[in-house]
A and B are shown apart, each in its own frame.
Chain A
Amino acid sequence: MAAKRESTFVNMLSTLLVITLVAAFTLGSVYNLTKEPIALAKQKKLEEAIRMVLPEFERLEAIKIKSDREEDSLQFFVAYQADTVIGVAINTFSNKGFSGEVRIMVSFAPDGTIYNTSVLDHKETPGLGDKMQKNKSDWSNQFNGMNPVSYRLKVVKDGGDVDAITAATISSRAFTDAVQHAYDTFLTYQKEN
């Protein structure tokens, strides 16, 4: 076995320099290779969610509408069937989740009725809060067909009409809040159009 290199200052410095350079170069190339698949995967997830929450459409228009409660704006996907709007899918979120942001896609019919919902991203507790996902339970179906004009978007405990997930009131509240967020912004959008 060859002798180890001495721990002189020059040796230490050159070793660390070489290792970090090689690491940076490798990571840079891997990043470039995976950049496209990552973007595609994100895009695909979004498209799947849009298709899931909207009825069959001919043309989709993506716009940004300024949210009234946040600095940012929300992404709107307006679905057209022969020049008439048949529904609007909104990429919305709430920060009131049990562990951070809950991001969902919610769609409204032109009269403001909730058409369907789909969870995009959340970090809620597995087994409890994750029941908001369609593949875990049908909890979120209770929103479908409701119009927030008469349907109070709050969990029953807070005096609303939404039945919370058992033992996951906070997650349910966040989901409901995200729908409310989308609805408020949807009203602003309707006023402008």
Chain B
Amino acid sequence: MEYIIIIISAIFVNNIVLAQFLGICPFVGVSNKISTSIGMGGAVLFVITLSTIVTWLIQTYVLNALGLHFLQTIAFIVVIASLVQMVEIILKKVSPALYSALGVFLPLISTNCAVLGVAILTIQKEYTLIEGVVFSSSTALGFGLALVIFAGIREHLDLMEVPKGMRGVPIALVTAGILALAFMGFTGIV
């Protein structure tokens, strides 16, 4: 039951993009086409889940154990940045098919604040490792969902007549605002 609440709240109620404002850059940047946004969503799911596991272990067994919690930010970002690099290298060797699908998005991810944000949130919310995995993967699913919906809307938006100054990012942000309004409707369900 607890897991179901975490899942629903992470995907819909506290959607990482539309309610928590994390990962906006890729949200605005790579949401022109549904196909690219699915690829990005997949890559983020993979990296967020993996990095949450690693950072949780580091927090629990290194930082907390040694009383070095103030090094959290620096330790996490270094771990995440190296992790992304490693995933990229390993993926290239082991599964070229998966690499060609997700690979191009990987370099973009290390500066995606959603990854560091979720890692820190997992620690702040004092989740166990399993809860952390459930939380991070469903948060990433929420990211993918928002991205795909948004890309779908933007594909249609291209065909519309938009006032000149509003074209591109401004109209995309206003659209995101309306989407966020729609997601607020989920508020009551948990």
- The answer to whether A and B touch directly, with their CB atoms under 8 angstroms apart, is yes
Which B residues are in CB contact (< 8 Å) with A24? 71
Q: How far is the CA of A23 from the CA of B68 in the complex (A)?
A: 14
Check A100–B125 contact: CB distance below 8 A: yes
User: Mask for A8-23, Cβ within 8 A of B = 1, else 0?
Assistant: 0000000000000001
Check A99–B71 contact: CB distance below 8 A: no
A-B pairs with beta carbons under 8 A, tally? 17
| Nearest CB on A from B56, distance (A) | 17
Count chain A residues whose beta carbon lies closer than 8 angstroms to a beta carbon of B: 10
Which A residues are in CB contact (< 8 Å) with B61? none
Q: How far is the CA of A147 from the CA of B71 in the complex (A)?
A: 46
Count chain B residues whose beta carbon lies closer than 8 angstroms to a beta carbon of A: 10
With CB as the reference atom, state the residue of chain B lying closest to A168.
B187
Describe B's contact surface by its main secondary structure.
helix
Interface residue ranges of B103-132 to A (CB < 8 Å):
124-125
| Nearest CB on A from B85, distance (A) | 14
Given contacts A99-B14, A169-B188, contact A31 B70 (CB under 8 A): yes
Is A27 part of the binding interface, using a Cβ–Cβ cutoff of 8 Å?
Answer: yes
With CB as the reference atom, state the residue of chain A lying closest to B13.
A98
With CB as the reference atom, state the residue of chain B lying closest to A128.
B187
Q: How far is the CA of A64 from the CA of B124 in the complex (A)?
A: 23
Q: Which B residues have a C-beta under 8 Å from some C-beta of A?
A: 13-14, 70-71, 74, 124-125, 187-188, 190
Between A and B, 16 residue pairs with Cβ closer than 8 Å are: A23-B74, A24-B71, A27-B70, A27-B71, A27-B74, A31-B70, A98-B13, A98-B14, A98-B187, A99-B14, A100-B124, A100-B125, A169-B188, A170-B187, A170-B188, A170-B190
